[in-house]
Amino acid sequence: MVAADRTVPLTPRPTLARPADQILHPWAWWAWALGVAIAVNLTTNPLFLVLVGLALLAVILLRRSDAPWARSISAYFWLAGVVIGVRMFFRILVGGGFGETVLFTLPEIPLPDWAQGIRLGGDVTLEGILYTLYDSLRLVVMLVAVAAANALANPRRALRAVPAALHDISVSVVIALSVAPQLVESAFRVRTARRLRGGRARGLDAVKAYLVPILADAVDRSVSLAASMEARGFGRTRTTSRRRTWTNALLLVSSMVATLGGFLLLSSSGDPGPVAFGCLGAGALGVVAGLRASRDKIAVTRYRPDPWGIQEWTVTVSGLLVLAIVLALGNESVWALFGATLDPDVLNPSFMPATWPSLHPALVVAAALTALPILVTRAPGRTPPATRRGDAAATGRTGIADPGARRPDEELVTS
């Protein structure tokens, strides 16, 4: 193995890509999910929202792996339930207010003068309920879209595949991700040690008895990790030149400009105007240029990078198309192209008076596009249970719920 292998490049180059059990590039999932989430944010059409929600669910259930991050979706669903519950509760209790179709009436609690404008109880109208329902449905589907990205994309691989300019940040986040479960383990070990000493320390002493050994352990670990990284050449291919400073400045300024553009675009109620688009465009160009420049500065290579192929493009584009369709349906000139006038009811169906909302055919297409990843990706393989102990430890699932599950030392029976 010591022989020179920098010699003749092989033709054709051997595959560096992930093998057949590969999963989709994590950023493709994020692009798709964000496209859908933004599209959903622009509409309150309940039929469309329900369809998109179902499509997202289908993709999650069919394409998620059994990795620890994929198990987080239940937390998102729980949050979604809370969102609907809380908003409904307050709408019924305090919100009433508008609409004519009274469903039922709660006893109204008279409030003193200084609370004028707030009403407790009273009429609950169909219009009020519908308004809240549509609006919270929008939030819920956005949450599901973010949950989808979380469940489908491996966060570590996503962090590995960042542009070179963000290399340092991604390294520190990855290390933090590995150190966290070790800290949990050392916390359990120290807790056992407390019992062994009799656990008589009280108050500040007790806190010290926990923190001092854990911190000492963490510091020891960090020092050995740093020594190991240094000995293996970390940071060797980095140049610290004046040009690098300029690149960083360019990146910082252009991302701020792009953020300003995005803010103007989203905050203006009517036509955003050229300033918003200008800022956004200039900012994006600056970021791309900055990332390109910084890529030359760090000569770190990637072992078997996640490939970006036709599947990734398809998934990304399907998400962006969903967004494009919704944007188009809200734009007067697009309607004009088809010789029609803008129908605001398509995206935001009126609830005054309450009518059964209609579903524009383009929205059906958009919902179908949301589910497109099912067709172009494969279900990931399941890890055999025997090899999953570390996953459980990494999430702290077994550890936090049941202290016995993580042992106070390294003596676990290996399967």
Q: Which is nearer to other proteins, 23 or 55 (CB)?
A: 23
- Applying the rule CB under 8 A, the residues between 246 and 275 that interact with other proteins are none
Minimum CB distance to other proteins smaller for 93 or for 201: 201
Nearer to other proteins, 231 or 310 (CB): 231
- 409 belongs to the binding site for other proteins (CB under 8 A): yes
Name the minimum Å distance from CB 378 to other proteins: 18
**3-state SS class at 125:** strand
Binding status of residue 228 toward other proteins by CB under 8 A: yes
Under the binding rule (CB under 8 A), the answer on residue 113 touching other proteins is no
Chain centre to alpha carbon of residue 259: 18
Nearest to other proteins of 111, 412 (CB atom)? 412
**Counting contacts by CB under 8 A, is residue 189 touching other proteins?**
yes
Vertex 379: Cα angle to 378 and 383 (nearest 5): 135
398 burial type by CB count under 10 A (0-12 exposed, 13-18 middle, 19+ buried) = middle
The Cα 327–Cα 269 span in angstroms is: 14
Is there binding between residue 91 and other proteins (CB under 8 A)?
no
Q: Is 384 in the site for other proteins (CB under 8 A)?
A: no
Instruction: Give the torsion sign (CA, 281, 285, 288, 294).
Output: negative
State which residue, 249 or 300, has the beta carbon closest to other proteins: 300
Indicate whether 65 belongs to the interface with other proteins (CB under 8 A). Answer: no
Q: How far is the CB of 277 from other proteins (least distance, A)?
A: 39
User: Per rule CB under 8 A, is residue 110 in the interface with other proteins?
Assistant: no
Residues 13-42 that bind other proteins (CB under 8 A): 13-14, 16
In the list 104, 303, 338, 356, the residue contacting other proteins (rule: CB under 8 A) is 303
DSSP classification of residue 248? H
Taking the C-alpha atoms of residue 99 and residue 216, their distance in angstroms, rounded to an integer, is 64
- Amino acid present at 369: L
Question: DSSP secondary structure string, 38-99?
Answer: HHHHT---HHHHHHHHHHHHHHHHHH--SSGGGGGHHHHHHHHHHHHHHHHHHIIIII--S-
- Based on the shown chain and the rule CB under 8 A, indicate whether residue 1 belongs to the binding site for other proteins: yes
- Residue 292 in the binding site for other proteins (CB under 8 A): no
Q: Please name which of 225, 233, 180 lies closest in space to residue 396, comparing C-alpha atoms.
A: 180
Site for other proteins in 155-174 (CB under 8 A): 156, 174
Q: Is 202 in the site for other proteins (CB under 8 A)?
A: no
